[in-house]
Structure 1
Amino acid sequence: MKEIISLAPGRTCLFGDHQDYLGLPVIACAISRSIKLTAVQNNSGVFKLNMVDIDQLRIIDINQTFSQLEPRDYFASSLRVLRRHGCIPNVGYDITITGNIPINSGTSSSSALLLAWINFLVTAYGVNEEITPEFISRMGYLSEVVEHGEPGGMMDHYSIGVGNIVHIDTRDPFSFTVIGNELGGLITGVSGVPKETIGLIGDLKGNALLAIGTIKQSFPDFDLHQTEIEDLDKYRNYLPDRLIPFFEAAIKNHHYTKMALIEFQKPVLDLKKIGALMNKHHAVLRDLLKITVPRIDAMINAALKAGAYGAKIVGSGGGGSIVVMAEPGNEAPVVEALLAAGAVEAYAVTVDPGSRIE
């Protein structure tokens, strides 16, 4: 029987959290933790999905078209999206899904599963377009965000689908550039506090867009992409106090992401500078957007005291994980410090080449 093995890594956001839904750039990378989907062709006309790690079994008729979607049912939404692109299932598969990406931790286990599933589907049944990492990424974004009307952005799908270290320009027309494939000294720390996603992103996005819309009422030519930190004082007086932090966060995070891109484009990376920018980015996420929790704060403080160059919360916030920039070869004491500070998991990671068929 035909067998297909589809692998998709997790990702970490290095710079640009809560920026992609504003059309601002992001720097992210795929990391060496992954979801593995092993599919063996059967004669039953169904997908039999055995999700080993969460002890769930799901059976989907290969002819089901899903006129109605259940919330966050990405198996269904991707089947619906891919049918529009000529991917028509005509035979069933027994599918085993395993992985070592912590669930609900901010390292995109759900998007990794989605992209592994999409890559399997287009490999098994074909599609009307060339199958490229960009195509897989775009199908993931359409299936997760657009099809379900969710408030997230494109970062997860493109960093996982394209792999490596990627700079993503989330404006329309969308573009991305691979800016590296190695980054030594990278560590993930998992807090064990379940992160918030849909509600928190929706609130932060809504307030940021409201602030920008308010500014545009007085400055019709206002361009978020052209605004610098020095311009903040010019605009603050035109905003109600409650919206100022969201506007300030957007401007500052954009600035730090631009500064980080300059560093990543240099032939030799200065990890101390990248770490320092990471710390500034985290301060905005902590103090202005207020998306950290006590355990995350304790973990970051512990990492820095153990000699790390920089650390920040990853993803939507309210829990989840952190990314740490340490001196290559000095990861072990930082990992120990994270565990002592309450992390349920902490480990060094390397940059992954992205979603692929093995």
Structure 2
Amino acid sequence: MLTISTPGRICLFGEHQDYLGLPVIAAAISRRVQMTGQHRSDNKIIIHLPDIGSELQMEVFATRMPYREKRDYFRSGYNVLIDKGLKFSKGIECTVNGNIPINSGTSSSSALLVTWIHFLSKMADVPRHFTSQELGELAYIAEIVEFNEPGGMMDQLSTAIGNAVYLQFEPKVVVRELKPNLGTFVLADSREPKDTIGVLKRAKFARLELIQKIRQTLPSFSLHDFNTSGQEDLKKLLTNDEYALLGGTLRNRDILREALALFESGEMSNEKLGQLLIEHHGILRDLLQISTPKIEAMMSAALAAGALGGKINGSGGGGCMFVYAPHEPEKVADAMNAVGGRSYIIRIDRGTTVHIS
């Protein structure tokens, strides 16, 4: 019997920066999806999904499977391995369970795809060993590239690799595993549906247009290396709103750099981490406008109960937020529950794992 387990993730720093080509720091969390199964004597693939009261049946193919629905992730995961030369001649039966909040910004779909691809790689006629980074890259292809969806690699790489990880995407993918000595967090689901489209209009598209506007006058402009000392010179090119968006984007870039230096210093300061999270959240709330009154109520309650800092997690407009609460996390969780959240005490966790019994 084979079991694969993969964590969800939170984005510590760099939220809404990756699609601008800027780096992020993400962390795997101790809420996971698990897949357990074995070979069958026929050619059927049967996937039991008791958490959502569903079951999926397919048959092994020697070639790529045709897609049957939008975001047909189980077939796309199979297909990317077929493209890698893996072969399957036996059926498979498995059961999927998980405790990652769904559709709330904690990468449940990416964790599921990493799990499925990892599982299939071990069930192939000739099992293949992929590194955790390779598993994340394959999941990115299966989730994003196969369906021509927008999105970066943060979710897939961070859930596959685990712990805390610095991810740079331009000019090439750079992965640096971090090992900060972090205490407990409290993840809280607002139970509000995310307004992803509305958020992206301001958070993504408005800033992409802003960058193009600057480059009409300053062709060499880059968010990677633009020195904030020259920011004032751009004021005459931009509206007040655009100038504020630019300032917030550059400050979030620099907050991440400060956090990276803190994590790599070997001298972890819980209070400094909390301050950086609060400042990052403030920019997301005030300039990108991705928070909600309920999330702000949860944040205020958590900070009053002893949390050191926190931020919204994911695309925003609903979904999850988290706070850093190395002291009395139960008290913090109770405070957020009291204003309508659904809270989970979490720790930074390892990446995708395999167990054979």
Query: TM-score, normalised on structure 2?
Result: 0.93
Q: CA deviation at 1:212?
A: 1.1
User: Aligned match of 1:22 in 20, 24, 28?
Assistant: 20
2:213 maps to: 214
Distance 1:189 1:169 in 2: 27
Residue identity matched to 1:32: S
1:155 maps to: 154
User: Aligned match of 1:340 in 338, 352, 355?
Assistant: 338
Describe the shift of the 1:309–1:329 C-alpha distance in structure 2 as closer, same or farther (beyond 3 A): closer
Residue identity matched to 2:317: G
User: Aligned match of 1:350 in 347, 351, 357?
Assistant: 347
Gaps of 5+ in 2: none
Check whether the contact 1:169–1:175 (CA below 8 A) recurs between aligned residues.
yes
Q: CA deviation at 1:169?
A: 0.8
Superposition pairs of residues 299-338 of structure 1, within 5 angstroms: 299-326=298-325, 328-338=326-336
- More deviation in 198-207 or 275-284? 198-207
Q: CA deviation at 1:102?
A: 1.1
The one-character-per-residue Cα deviations of 1:191-238 (angstroms, maximum 9, x if unpaired) are 111224467447633222221111111111112101244443322432
Check whether the contact 1:32–1:350 (CA below 8 A) recurs between aligned residues.
yes
Q: CA deviation at 1:46?
A: 2.0
Deviating beyond 6 angstroms after TM superposition, the runs of 4 or more aligned structure 1 residues are 126-129
SS in structure 1 at match of 2:219: coil
Q: CA deviation at 1:268?
A: 2.3
2:168 maps to: 169
Distance 2:189 2:150 in 1: 24
The one-character-per-residue Cα deviations of 1:79-102 (angstroms, maximum 9, x if unpaired) are 222211112322111111101111
Q: How many percent of aligned residue pairs carry the same amino acid?
A: 38
Q: CA deviation at 1:329?
A: 3.3
Superposition pairs of residues 101-180 of structure 1, within 5 angstroms: 101-125=100-124, 130-180=129-179
Distance 1:212 1:243 in 2: 10
Q: CA deviation at 1:240?
A: 4.7
Distance 2:249 2:113 in 1: 29
Distance 1:20 1:94 in 2: 37
Describe the shift of the 1:322–1:12 C-alpha distance in structure 2 as closer, same or farther (beyond 3 A): same
In the alignment of these two chains, the number of paired residues is 354
Describe the shift of the 1:244–1:74 C-alpha distance in structure 2 as closer, same or farther (beyond 3 A): farther
Distance 2:125 2:182 in 1: 35
Check whether the contact 1:208–1:247 (CA below 8 A) recurs between aligned residues.
yes
Check whether the contact 1:69–1:77 (CA below 8 A) recurs between aligned residues.
no
Q: CA deviation at 1:61?
A: 1.9
Q: CA deviation at 1:290?
A: 0.8
SS in structure 2 at match of 1:337: helix
Check whether the contact 2:67–2:75 (CA below 8 A) recurs between aligned residues.
no
Q: CA deviation at 1:111?
A: 0.8
Q: CA deviation at 1:351?
A: 1.2
Distance 1:86 1:112 in 2: 23
Q: CA deviation at 1:243?
A: 4.2
1:190 maps to: 189
1:62 maps to: 60
Residue identity matched to 2:257: K
SS in structure 2 at match of 1:177: strand
Check whether the contact 1:87–1:121 (CA below 8 A) recurs between aligned residues.
no
Q: CA deviation at 1:39?
A: 1.5
- More deviation in 116-125 or 59-68? 59-68
Distance 2:37 2:280 in 1: 41
1:13 maps to: 11
Residue identity matched to 1:357: V
Superposition RMSD in Å: 2.0
Q: CA deviation at 1:9?
A: 0.5
The one-character-per-residue Cα deviations of 1:4-29 (angstroms, maximum 9, x if unpaired) are 11111111111111111111111111
Structure 1 position 294 matched with structure 2 position 306: no
Superposition pairs of residues 236-255 of structure 1, within 5 angstroms: 236-240=235-239, 243-255=242-254
SS in structure 1 at match of 2:307: coil
The one-character-per-residue Cα deviations of 1:105-131 (angstroms, maximum 9, x if unpaired) are 211111111110010011111789751
The one-character-per-residue Cα deviations of 1:284-323 (angstroms, maximum 9, x if unpaired) are 1111111111111110111111121101000111111112
SS in structure 2 at match of 1:237: helix
SS in structure 1 at match of 2:29: strand
User: Aligned match of 2:37 in 36, 39, 56?
Assistant: 39
Distance 1:6 1:198 in 2: 33
The one-character-per-residue Cα deviations of 1:245-274 (angstroms, maximum 9, x if unpaired) are 543332121111111111111212101111
